[in-house]
Amino acid sequence: MAVLLALAAPALAQPEQRMAELLRLDEVLEIVREEGLEHGADIGAAVLGPSAGASWRAAVARVHDPEAMRGLMLEGFAEALPRDPEALARIESVLASDLGQRVVELELGARRAMLDPGIEDAARDAWAAQAAEGGPRVDTLRRFVEVGDLVERNVTGGLNATLAFYVGLAEGGGALAEFGEADMLADVQAQESGIRAEVEGWLHAYLALAFAPLPPEDLAAHVDFFDTADGRALNAALFAGFNGMFETLSRRLGQAAGTFAQGEDL
User: pLDDT tens digits for 45-66?
Assistant: 887 777 678 899 999 999 999 9
Q: DSSP letter at 7?
A: P
Query: In the prediction, which pLDDT does 5 show?
Result: 38
Higher-confidence position of 13 and 44: 44
Give the DSSP letter string of 57-103: HHHHHHHT-HHHHHHHHHHHHHHHS-S-HHHHHHHHHHHHSHHHHHH
How far apart CA 262 and CA 13 sit, in angstroms, is 44
Q: Are 71 and 7 in contact (CB under 8 A)?
A: yes
For residue 57, the model assigns a pLDDT of 92
**How much is the average pLDDT of 138-145?**
98
Residue 25's CB is within 10 A of a number of other CB atoms, namely 20
pLDDT of residue 264: 54
Tell whether the model's pLDDT for residue 7 goes beyond 70. no
Distance CA 244, CA 70 (A): 12
Question: Does residue 30 carry a pLDDT above 50?
Answer: yes
Domain range summary for the chain, segments of one domain joined by +: 14-261
Across 28-37, 57-66, 176-185, 222-231, least confident range: 176-185
